[in-house]
Amino acid sequence: MGNNPVLFVVTNVVIGILSFILGYLVKQARAAARAQSVEAKAERLLAEAQNKHKEIELVARDAALRITDEAEKEAKQLRAELRTEEQRLHRRREGIEQKADGLDNRERQIEASHKQLERERAKIGELQQEQRDELERIAGLNTEEAKALLLKEVEADTRQAMARMIREVEAEAKEEADRRAREIVTLSIQRIASDQVAEVTVSAVPLPNDEMKGRIIGRGGRNIRAIEQATGVDLIVDDTPEAIIISSFDPVRREVARVALAKLILDGRIHPARIENVVEKAQQQVDQIIREEGEKTVYELGVHGLHPELIKLLGRLRYRTSYGQNVLQHSIETAHLAAIMAAELKANVKMAKLAGLLHDIGKGVDHEVEGPHALIGADLAKSHRMSAKVVNAIAAHHSEEEPQTVEAILVQAADAISGARPGARRESLERYVKRIKALEDIAASFDGVDKSYAIQAGREIRIIVNPNQVDDASAVKLSRDIAKSVESNLEYPGRITVTVIRETRAVEYAK
């Protein structure tokens, strides 16, 4: 059989067909088994779905029952609330009806009372008319004449009462203002305990001996001419023993000359070439002192952001005096006083301090620029971009401009306090007497003034008026007019009190 190929092929074909049939039968059997499994699974899922449907149905039924119960409870509650509200509205309606009945009764009573009042008013009118007729008959005046007379009397009484009230109110206001002002000024002065020693304005250079005068003058006066030309000052060599007087309108030049002369005297070598060298070094030294003094001042006062040129001008004030008072110390004192008063009055402390410090800055260049130092200082501050309020405070501290802020007025007051305190400035007797005489003359120039006396070193002017020419109301106006005239025509430190005295005396003699 192994040698017959046909048989071998037939056998293989038969085996393949049998294998195919067997595989098919196996697949069919597997498919049938899988179908049975799927069918069983579907039946199981169907059963589970039916069970879940029943459970869901039971849950929905329970939820529906619960919602129904809650809805019935809410409906019962709403019905109860509606019944309560209905009962309340019913009671309120009954109360309103009762009040309406009471109002009707009250309205009827008021109407009856109104009619009664009308009758009483008519009776009163008749009685008043009878009284007027009787008064006219007795007084011999008609209604218009009596009214005019009464108005005249009332007007006179009212004028007197008004004048009395005005005097009382003004007295109270002045008393309170004076008390508060004294308190602020006293506190400010107490906190600024400055020295009372005025500086001497004469610059004198001491010499070791009188022989040094000849060396300073030099052969043919060449040395003294060289010193005067280099420094711009005048040297006065007189009979004063062992001293040379330096004269100059510029205090800085005078200081440069003083420093240069001190160096030349100490060195002993005095000739034109040496003089120029020493003066140049003295100028640098004084400039350095000026810068340091200005920087020290603004640092101690806590003023920041000031232009370097203004700081330099502040330093120059160290060598400037006014009535014997050092201007830089006066400016520092004014700044402190203005700041303290601004703090007491809840004003701008920083601006008051800055304006007080710079109020006399114009005195640093007033010998170079024409005009009042207040306006010069205001122009300087404006050119260095100071605020308009600070510029106004500087310009207004001597009334060259009207003060526009509280701080400007405080700078005026601080400047007056610093200059008027005892020992701050020196004033000649002649100038003092002239001011006292001018004060009395101004008061005597007004009508009705009988006598005037300046007292308390010119701090108060007391005026005695003729009582036949000046009444009480006019006395108040007269004191104001005299005060304004004094402000306009006199220059004085501090404040002057104007007191007008009016009295009537009756004198009789028993014989």
Please write the tens of the pLDDT for every residue from 438-493.
Answer: 888 898 899 889 888 888 767 788 998 988 888 888 888 889 899 999 888 887 76
Exposed, middle or buried, 63 (CB in 10 Å: 0-12/13-18/19+)?
exposed
pLDDT at 392: 92
124 domain residue, yes or no: no
Please say if the pLDDT value at position 338 is more than 70: yes
**279 and 374 in one domain?**
yes
**415 and 433 in one domain?**
no
87 domain residue, yes or no: no
Q: Report helix, strand or coil for 234.
A: strand
Q: Which two tokens stand for residue 87?
A: 């009962």
Total of domains in the chain: 3
**458 and 325 in one domain?**
no
Sheet of strand 203-206, all strands in order from the earlier edge strand to the far edge: 203-206, 243-247, 234-236
E strand or H helix at 247: strand 243-247
**How many whole angstroms separate alpha carbon 160 and alpha carbon 290?**
64
**433 and 413 in one domain?**
no
What φ, ψ does residue 471 adopt, rounded to 5°? Answer: -90, 180
Band (pLDDT 50/70/90 cuts) for residue 197 is very low
Band (pLDDT 50/70/90 cuts) for residue 364 is confident
Tell me the average pLDDT across 366-391: 86
**272 and 321 in one domain?**
yes
What φ, ψ does residue 227 adopt, rounded to 5°? Answer: -65, -45
Which of 66, 88, 109 is the last residue before a domain boundary? 66
Query: What's the pTM value of the predicted model, to 2 decimals?
Result: 0.48
What are the tens digits of pLDDT across the range 203-234? Answer: 778 888 878 888 888 888 888 888 888 888 88
Band (pLDDT 50/70/90 cuts) for residue 59 is confident
165 domain residue, yes or no: no
**Contact (CB, 8 A) for 334 and 408:** no
**378 and 261 in one domain?**
yes
Exposed, middle or buried, 282 (CB in 10 Å: 0-12/13-18/19+)?
buried
**340 and 456 in one domain?**
no
Q: What's 256's domain CATH number? A: 1.10.3210
pLDDT at 432: 66
Which residue range(s) make up the domain with 20?
A: 9-66
* Residue that wins the pLDDT comparison between 182 and 285: 285
**404 and 443 in one domain?**
no
**280 and 227 in one domain?**
yes
**434 and 308 in one domain?**
no
Please say if the pLDDT value at position 70 is more than 60: yes
Which of 387, 420, 453 is the last residue before a domain boundary? 420
347 domain residue, yes or no: yes
Contacts of 147 (CB under 8 A, 6+ apart): none
**230 and 374 in one domain?**
yes
